[in-house]
């Protein structure tokens, strides 16, 4: 089997991407954020208090003839940005881009944090991290990818995220029309459950490539790129008027500044993030101060290769044994 579905930016700065999925019988369509940085599949539901729902589509298990309560099971998750949700669990038929998993664990929210309530175009998440991270108790549940894997033509899914445009997620095949040249693969350390791998180094603008093993996670659910302070300061040293603002919680600069590109290495291959991707957003609609798409990871305890980096490449998440991750130019 294979599947292919759109990855649609939810706002004009690509803060997150959503993908249409169907749940239950008859199918209920929700727009979910496919997140390789977590492993819970949760949705706004008929059980979510109405004062926490603001325009989201909801999953109503009672309206699905194929839903089953996973009795006695609960879940609760906290993300790195402080957002979170919790609830109960059903199993139901779940489809992404024509690929169906029967009896997928669908975690129905009983409570969501305010940042989810405020994102009216995001109806929940599909965790595509390793199932070891799943928070359902007393028995943890498998991700959509782990459930689909035995039926996939190839044990892979790919992410083709785009800058200010709709991209795609494919399951079970690698579409050679979506990239150029070769795919460069590198080893994944799947413990504790993220797609953890290393960069082989970086360069700023036309500067020399700095070879250095930088371990981090490729996370489609994180908007920006978070790297060690030494690398980030080297980058913003090239930006007129840039400063690390306590007030805004990161590097800001005059929107009119010229930014350099940022190149990262995967083994021997090189991927360049255009300056426009790093000129992420104005700090407020009328401000002339802009917030960077490259920020420091100090304080996170982990480096994160988020959407700003991933949208510069075609990325293959390979569930083979051992798992690996591949990057190609597009
Ligand atoms: O918390 C992180 N990443 C952290 C960012 C700070 C540095 C550490 C990692 N990712 C979350 C993201 O923010 C959420 N958000 C929802 C609203 C639209 C924007 C996305 C979404 O839900 C879970 C996941 O994706």
115: helix, coil or strand?
helix
Mutate which of 35, 42, 44, 79 for ligand 1 pocket (most atoms within 8 A of beta carbon): 79
User: Which residue's C-alpha comes closest to atom 21 of ligand 1?
Assistant: 221
Q: Residues 37, 221: contact at Cβ < 8 Å?
A: yes
84: helix, coil or strand?
strand
Q: Residues 223, 15: contact at Cβ < 8 Å?
A: yes
- Give the pLDDT score at 153: 98
Rounded to an integer, what distance in angstroms lies between the CA atom of residue 322 and that of residue 46? 40
In tens digits, what is the pLDDT along the chain, a chain of 330 residues? 999 999 999 999 999 999 999 999 999 999 999 999 999 999 999 999 999 999 999 999 999 999 999 999 999 999 999 999 999 999 999 999 999 999 999 999 999 999 999 999 999 999 999 999 999 999 999 999 999 999 999 999 999 999 999 999 999 999 999 999 999 999 999 989 999 999 999 999 999 999 999 999 999 999 999 999 999 999 999 999 999 999 999 999 999 999 999 999 999 999 999 999 999 999 999 999 999 999 999 989 999 999 999 999 999 999 999 999 999 999
Nearest to 267 by CA among 225, 224, 196, 325: 325
Rounded to an integer, what distance in angstroms lies between the CA atom of residue 222 and that of residue 212? 23
User: Which residue's C-alpha comes closest to atom 6 of ligand 1?
Assistant: 81
Dihedral sign of CA atoms 193, 265, 231, 289 in order: negative
Mutate which of 126, 222, 308 for ligand 1 pocket (most atoms within 8 A of beta carbon): 222
Rounded to an integer, what distance in angstroms lies between the CA atom of residue 38 and that of residue 19? 16
Ligand 1 centroid to Cα of residue 221, in Å, is 6
Q: What is the dihedral of CA 313, 248, 206, 211, to 10 degrees?
A: -70
ipTM > 0.95 for the complex: yes
User: Which residue's C-alpha comes closest to atom 20 of ligand 1?
Assistant: 16
At 190, give phi and psi (nearest 5°). Answer: -85, -5
Terminal-residue alpha carbon distance, the chain? 25
Nearest to 199 by CA among 297, 321, 131: 297
Q: Which residues line ligand 1 (CB under 6 A)?
A: 15-16, 33, 35, 79-81, 83, 115, 119, 122, 125, 221-223, 226, 300, 304
Rounded to an integer, what distance in angstroms lies between the CA atom of residue 255 and that of residue 242? 10
Q: How many CB atoms lie within 10 A of CB 42?
A: 28
Rounded to an integer, what distance in angstroms lies between the CA atom of residue 29 and that of residue 20? 6
Rounded to an integer, what distance in angstroms lies between the CA atom of residue 176 and that of residue 60? 38
pTM: 0.98
- Give the pLDDT score at 131: 97
| Enclosing H/E stretch for 88 | strand 84-96
Tokens coding 114: 């305010």
Instruction: Give me the sheet containing 243-245, strands edge to edge.
Output: 243-245, 250-254, 289-292, 279-282
Q: Residues 306, 292: contact at Cβ < 8 Å?
A: no
Nearest to 327 by CA among 118, 183, 148, 155: 183
- Give the pLDDT score at 191: 87
Q: How many CB atoms lie within 10 A of CB 164?
A: 11
Active-site positions? 35, 219
Ligand 1 centroid to Cα of residue 79, in Å, is 6
- Give the pLDDT score at 62: 98
Rounded to an integer, what distance in angstroms lies between the CA atom of residue 231 and that of residue 228? 6
């Amino acid at each position: 089997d294979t599947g292919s579905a759109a990855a649609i930016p939810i706002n004009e700065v690509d803060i997150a991407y959503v993908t249409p999925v169907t749940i239950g019988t008859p199918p209920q369509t929700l727009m979910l954020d496919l997140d390789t940085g977590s492993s819970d599949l949760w949705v706004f539901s008929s059980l979510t208090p109405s004062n926490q729902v603001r325009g989201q589509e909801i999953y109503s298990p009672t309206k699905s003839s194929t839903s089953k309560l996973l009795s006695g099971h609960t879940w609760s998750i906290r993300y790195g940005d402080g957002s979170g949700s919790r609830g109960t669990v059903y199993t139901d038929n779940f489809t992404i881009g024509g690929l169906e998993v029967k009896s997928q664990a669908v975690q129905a929210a009983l409570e969501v944090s305010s940042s989810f309530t405020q994102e009216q175009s995001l109806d929940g998440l599909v965790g595509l991290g390793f199932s070891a991270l799943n928070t359902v108790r007393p028995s943890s549940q498998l991700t959509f990818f782990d459930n689909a894997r035995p039926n996939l033509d190839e044990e892979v899914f790919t992410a083709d995220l785009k800058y200010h445009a709709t991209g795609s997620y494919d399951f079970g095949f690698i579409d050679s029309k979506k990239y150029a040249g070769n795919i460069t693969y590198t080893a994944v350390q799947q413990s504790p459950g993220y797609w953890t791998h290393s960069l082989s180094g970086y360069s700023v603008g036309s500067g020399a490539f700095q070879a250095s093993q930088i371990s981090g996670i490729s996370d489609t659910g994180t908007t920006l790129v978070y790297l060690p302070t030494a690398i980030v300061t080297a980058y913003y040293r090239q930006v007129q008027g840039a400063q690390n603002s306590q007030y805004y919680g990161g590097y800001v600069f005059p929107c009119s500044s010229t930014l350099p590109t940022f190149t990262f290495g995967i083994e021997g291959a090189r991927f360049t993030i255009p300056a426009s991707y790093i000129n992420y957003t104005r700090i407020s609609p009328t401000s002339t101060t802009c917030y960077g798409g490259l920020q420091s990871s100090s304080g996170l305890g982990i480096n994160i290769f988020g959407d700003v980096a991933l949208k510069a490449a075609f990325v293959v998440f390979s569930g083979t044994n051992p798992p690996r991750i591949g990057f190609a130019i597009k």
